[in-house]
Structure 1
């Protein structure tokens, strides 16, 4: 999905260049599409736990393969996204989890 978004010249971050290593290419999918496509892998879930403003239908666009299951999908790019590989970002996120925040 990431390549299709970039090919359409839609601005999206991809710090790891689509290698499932940073979390910057996050998108929000509509509920029907989210339920229809294969589930996120453990690696993707770990990164999604670190992204700002996650939603129940968040996915990393580099992890979603283009297929007919995406036909009619509504995909939204979050208002901002940042590289979650920064150690300080991960530490802040871990502290929020300890306090019960997300």
Structure 2
């Protein structure tokens, strides 16, 4: 299974396995990682799974969809590497992915 490293805003690191096909958001929820809420359950209808993708991984996670761009308008502190965790599906290609959480989800 591919591994994801989640880094909380305070620097706490969580390295967990996330099954192929599961999203970064689902990986956080299933492993009780604080900092990702996923209020909409992964339907790209909120921004409570906002993460910052490590620059080295940005190209591999793909482009933001129009819907994701729209939902990121509701997130705080959006950066060039901001993504919604529900929109990043895990695969062997993303083994080792690193994401950081913002200070707060909105």
Q: Which runs of 5+ in 2 are unaligned?
A: 1-23
Matches within 5 A, 1:22-61: 22-61=46-85
1:42-101 deviations in Å (ceiling 9; x for gaps):
00011113311011111000111011232222111111011xxxxxxxxxxxxxxxxxxx
Residue 42 of structure 2, aligned match among 9, 14, 18 = 18
Structure number having the greater strand percentage: 2
Structure 1 runs of 4+ aligned residues shifted over 2 Å read none
Asked if the contact 2:38–2:48 (Cα under 8 Å) also holds between the matched residues in 1, the reply is yes
Asked if the contact 2:29–2:38 (Cα under 8 Å) also holds between the matched residues in 1, the reply is no
Q: Which runs of 5+ in 1 are unaligned?
A: 83-102
Asked if the contact 2:42–2:86 (Cα under 8 Å) also holds between the matched residues in 1, the reply is yes
Equivalent residue for 1:99? none
- Where 1:5 maps in the other structure, the secondary structure is helix
Name the CA shift for 1:49/1:69 in 2 (closer, same or farther; >3 Å).
farther
RMSD: 1.2
Equivalent residue for 1:74? 98
Would you say how many aligned residue pairs link Structure 1 and Structure 2? 82
Equivalent residue for 1:95? none
Structure number having the greater helix percentage: 1
Q: CA deviation at 1:3?
A: 0.9
- Where 1:74 maps in the other structure, the secondary structure is strand
